[in-house]
Amino acid sequence: VICTADEWGIRSHGVARLRFYCEMLIQKRINPVARPHIVKSRPSLVLVDGDNGLGMLVGSFSNAIAIERAKETGIGWVHVINSNHFGIAGYYAVQGLKDNLIGIAMTNTPPLVAPFGGIERRLGTNPISMAFPAYKEPPVVIDLATSAISLGAVENSDREDDEVPPCCLIDASGAPSTTPRDLLEGGSLLPLGGARATGGHKGYCLASMVDLMCGVFPGASWGPFVPPFINQAPILENKVGRGIGHVFGAISTGAFEDPLVVQSRVDEWIYTMRNTKVSEWAGEVLVPGDPERRAAEDNARNGLALEVNVAEDLRRLGQEFGLKLEI
């Protein structure tokens, strides 16, 4: 999962995070011998207990169930509790494409976002992902955090001594800020949409939707009680709910008619979006999934250059585990 993130150009979720996952396993904050299992099962609706396992393992296990049920019944819908950070949501949404399935993945994440009108972290960046198979064209792959900008983007701006755009961030006192450090020092991200006039209440609604579906409904942790996934972060004293929660959905494009007919329509949709008259600043109209696919093509052609500090860290990590890495 984390290699796919690097391949797709989402470096914030790539091997740079391997150390955190390893440390969490070593400290047993993630259960290294977890056995995710089905708790409740109906033909199209399933609850999985992740046994506090690695999110990628629990996620792959649970997503496979959604796919299997969609093949059997047309739709598979799996709620997951007691899991951990599962990497990029898009990884799971694309798994059913080869079986002609629409894929859905959501997860709640540790609190970083203030609810609209609030000045404390109460919600995660709670991403939503969906993938639609096309016929001749590559699939449409949607994957978005419901905050205005991601933690990764703020960290990048901080490293480059840059400002972040207005309406994305508040400092610890609740004042609007464009200074990345203000987030790292106790501020909050704002929900997608920014101010009231531009729809900040909508981003709050979307983040809430993901939190209620992934956390509150199935019994995982939620809101400010979602556990951190970085080993340096203190363990929460107030435990509410069990671990991080995910939702995986799959719907068969063949449920109503020949899947190739459906997928040809997705092609037409893609052509229609691409053929929109283009804004001067944009150069072209992209289809969701284009940036990641292009990064992957570029990486396949030219190789994937790791940042020096990430490569160094991987080498050290290898040594700690008695592995020799040729990098």
Applying the rule CB under 8 A, the residues between 167 and 226 that interact with a second copy are 167-168, 170, 174, 192-195, 197-199, 201-206, 208-209, 211-213, 216-219, 222-224
Stretch that binds a second copy, among 6-14, 16-24, 279-287, 297-305 (CB under 8 A): 279-287
Cβ at position 90, least distance to a second copy in Å: 11
User: Distance of CA 64 to CAs 48, 71, 150, 249, 254, Å?
Assistant: 12, 11, 28, 10, 18
Give the largest Cα separation in the chain, rounded.
56
Cβ burial, residue 302 (10 Å; 0-12/13-18/19+): exposed
Q: Which is nearer to a second copy, 61 or 204 (CB)?
A: 204
Q: Residue 72 contacts by C-beta under 8 Å, 6 or more apart in sequence? A: 43
Size of the site for a second copy (CB under 8 A): 90
Cβ at position 82, least distance to a second copy in Å: 13
Tell me which residues in 9-48 interact with a second copy (CB under 8 A): 39-40, 42-45, 47
**Residue 190 DSSP one-character state:** P
> From residue 248 to residue 267, what is the string marking binding to a second copy with x (rule CB under 8 A)?
---x-x-xxx----x--xx-
Q: Which is nearer to a second copy, 5 or 192 (CB)?
A: 192
Tell me which residues in 292-311 interact with a second copy (CB under 8 A): none
- Which residues are bridge partners to 250 per DSSP? 76, 103
Tell me which residues in 103-122 interact with a second copy (CB under 8 A): 114-120, 122
Q: Which is nearer to a second copy, 208 or 314 (CB)?
A: 208
User: Distance of CA 240 to CAs 224, 325, 326, Å?
Assistant: 9, 40, 43
The SS3 call for residue 128 is strand
Tell me which residues in 127-156 interact with a second copy (CB under 8 A): 128, 130, 132, 140, 142-146, 148-149
- With tokens 């939707």, the residue in question is 209
